[in-house]
Structure 1
Amino acid sequence: MRTNLITPEGLEALTTELDYLWREYRPEITGKVAWAASLGDRSENADYKENKRLLRSIDSRIRFLRKRIEAVKVVEYSPVQEGKVFFGAWVEVESEHSEVKVFRIVGPDEIYQRKDYISIDAPMARALIKKEVDDEAIVKTPEGEKSWFINKISYQPLVGEK
C-alpha cells in the first residue's frame, strides 16, 4: 500500500504535470488524431493508430493524477522536526563498511525523477524515522539486517545537493 503523503514540491510537480498534459500535450495529440482521421481509411493509418494509443495513455495519466492529487496529504516542514528524521528530511547515513548515502525521505509519487529521493515506504526510511544524529538504524533487507549510522539530518538540501 502506498502512503498518501507528499511534500509541497511533490504536489507542485504533480500539478504541473497534470496542467501540461491537459492544456498542452493532449490538445496537440488530439489535433494529430483529427488530422490523421481526416485522411480516410483508419485501418491502415499508422499515424492515426499511434496517436490514438498515445491519447489513451495521456487520458489514463490525467485520470490517475486527478485522483492522486485529491488523495495526497501535503506534509509541511515544522520546526518541531529539527534534530530528528521525519518525512521530508535530507539524511546522510553511513554503513559499518563506510559506505555513505545521502537522500531525502519523500512520498512514493516523488521518487521517480530523482536518484537522491527514497519513499517513506522504503525499509531504510522506516528504520530511520524518529532517529537522531549518531543513532544506529537497523534496516531489514533481502540479504539480512544491515546497520546504518546517521551522520546528518537537515530539512534543507545537504551540501552538494540540489
Structure 2
Amino acid sequence: MKPDGPPITPAGMAALRARYDHLLGTERPAITEIVSWAAGNGDRSENGDYLYGRKRMREIDRELAHLARRMKNCRVIDPARQEDRTRVWFGATVAIADEDDIQRVLTLVGDDEQDASKNLIGWSAPMAKALRGAAVGDLRRVFLPGGEKEWEVVAVSYPEGA
C-alpha cells in the first residue's frame, strides 16, 4: 500500500481482498476443472464448455490482476481516526441542502467503493471535490453534468473509533 496512492477505507480494502480471494480460491479452480474436463473430450474448436471456460478464465485473470494492482496502490485511511472532525475529509458523512432546502446525506469514500444508490460518493467525484475541507454552514458550488448547483453543508460526522 502506497502512502500517496488513492484513498480507500478499511472496509473497502476488505471488500477488494474478499473479491480477490473468492476469484482465486473458488471461481478460478472451478473454471480450470471445467476446462480440463472439456479439453479431454476431443475436438476443442466446437467445444462450448472449453471455449467458454477459456474465455471466463481470461476474464478472471484480468480481474485478479486489476484487484492486485488496486490493493497494492491504494492507501488505507480509517475515517474513525480523523483528527479534524469539524470539516469534510475522506470518510466523512455529510448532510447537505440545496437552494430548495432538499437535503441529501453523502459519505465520501474511495473510488473503488462508490455506490450512488447507497449515497457513497467517490473521492474523485465532482461533488466530493467541491465538499473537501468544508465546515458546517459553508456553501459549495458544484459543477455537475446537469448544470451548476449550490449546496450548504448542514452536518459533518465521522464513524466512531473502535
TM-score, normalised to structure 2, is 0.88
2:123 is the alignment partner of 1:120: yes
1:71-117 deviation digits (Å, cap 9, x = unpaired): 11111232413121000111111111222222211111111585321
**Residue 151 of structure 2 aligns with which residue?**
148
5+ residue gaps, structure 1, are 158-162
Q: How does 1:16-27 map to 2 (within 5 A)?
A: 16-27=18-29
Runs of 4+ in 1 over 4 A off after TM superposition: none
1:106 matches 2:109 = yes
Percent identity reads: 38
Which residue pairs with 1:160 in the alignment? none
Question: In the alignment, residue 70 of structure 1 is paired with which amino acid?
Answer: K
Q: 2:38 aligns with which of 36, 39, 43?
A: 36
CA shift at 1:24, angstroms? 1.0
One-letter identity of the residue aligned with 1:127? A
Residue of structure 1 equivalent to 2:10: 8
User: For residue 138 of structure 1, what is the aligned residue in structure 2?
Assistant: 141
| 1:70-81 map, 5 Å | 70-77=72-79, 78-81=81-84
SS state at 1:85 partner: coil
Matched residues in 2 for 1:27 and 1:113: separation?
Answer: 33
Distance 1:79 1:40 in 2: 61
Per the normalisation by structure 1, the TM-score is 0.88
Cα RMSD (Å) = 1.8
